[in-house]
Amino acid sequence: MTVTVLLGLWQLESWQAVREDSAADLTREQPEPLAAVIGPDDPFPGEDVGQPVVVAGTWLPESTVYVSGRESDGRDGYWVVTPLAIGEPDGPALPIVRGWTADVETAPAPPTGSAELVAWLQPTEGTNVADEDRTDDILPQVRTADLIQHVDQDLYGAYAIVADEVAPGDWPTGAAATNDGTAGLEPAELDQLPTTAAFSGLRNFLYALEWFLFGGFVVFLWWRWARDTVALEGRVAEEVAAGAAADGSSVAAGGAVAGTTTLLAPAEVRRSLARRRGSVGGVNRPLLAYRVMAYIVGVLLIVLCLIGVPLGNFDGSSMWGIFPSTPELVSPGSGWQEFGEAISGYLGVAHGWLYMIFLGSAFFLARREGWEPTFTIVTLLCGTIPVLSFWAEHRAVQRVRADEAADLAEAQAASAQP
């Protein structure tokens, strides 16, 4: 119980950490080269909203536009946006918000020539506000569909705002920037910062929930085991007392105590045993349920531990904060690693829930068959070990079959006595 609570708290803390990381303000992080964050044809990386990037290229002054409805210190005004051709002058362009102005007419002339600066990366906007006048240079939003009408070359799927404060270091920002185009403009404020998605860290939350439920399930199993044991002891004592009181009485095959021996035909013996073991039509239902869940859990465990975990984690780096290094089976960020992470994520959660169903079916079978605690615990724990779960299933089936045969022989012998 203590272990399950601690593991649940650990996963809950991991869930909270993931959500905090997803909403982290990246604006004070170390700037990265633009190419390391996004390419000209890449979709916007949602986890990099606000990431400082180092950009270098050539200004496209004739494509300068003004975005209306932007405020600075409570004053309404415009963003001044000039695309920067990254790399070659005819290369894909990244729209750069150079700053803010209260009036388009008084805005300084756009810069020309080459530039190098640090800017905060932002996803393009999509407020569905239409550009009512496509003949002017004023836009209602920073949307690629609107910007492309003013630029004669490809655009990145993002825009960036000139950064006035970045992490300490030798970065091209402020006075160290080359032709950043901010002269005569007020600094523009960040339009977007990362938000926590609804499903961020969902896997950790589900794991935490699983561990807490598992702890409660353990308590329930212990209580049920204790209650059944006490009840069984009481029934045995009652039957012994009844047998001692009735001179010459015997226990019939169905388990009832009678004053005279009840003779049962073989078919009646089998029906009596079937009722006691929960069987219908010759099928032991508790055993069947246990076998089905044992195979499902066993197969998922093999796929998870022998395929998902190696592919998702064996890239030479540390794993789970426990192992300092791992074998170099896959390359970091490769398709195979993503495939392994998907297996670990989805099957890991599924196995946790299915394992609780497996525990219930195994426990119910153990109580029906009267297994001792040691045999039961080994059967339950083997459901967490790859391959061993199949051995435990075979072991349990063999014992049930042997017990059924012994009970049948004993009952037939009792019914045959005069």
Q: pLDDT per residue over 293-340, tens digit each?
A: 999 989 988 998 899 888 888 877 777 667 778 888 888 767 888 888
Q: What is the pLDDT of residues 125-179, one digit of tens each?
A: 766 677 778 788 999 988 888 898 899 999 999 999 999 888 888 999 999 999 9
- The confidence score (pLDDT) of residue 96 equals 96
- Cα–Cα distance for residue pair 371/316, rounded to 1 Å: 45
- Cα–Cα distance for residue pair 63/150, rounded to 1 Å: 5
Q: Which two tokens stand for residue 10?
A: 């650990």
Position 380 confidence tier, pLDDT thresholds 50, 70, 90 = confident
Taking the complete model, does pTM exceed 0.85, yes or no?
A: no
- 304 Cβ partners below 8 Å, 6+ apart? 343, 344, 347, 348, 351
- H/E segment holding residue 16: helix 2-22
Query: What does the pLDDT average to over 194-209?
Result: 58
DSSP 253-285: TTS-EESSPPP--HHHHHHHHHHHHTEETTEEH
Closest CA to 208 of 413, 6, 45, 71: 6
Are the C-beta atoms of residues 80 and 66 closer than 8 Å to each other? yes
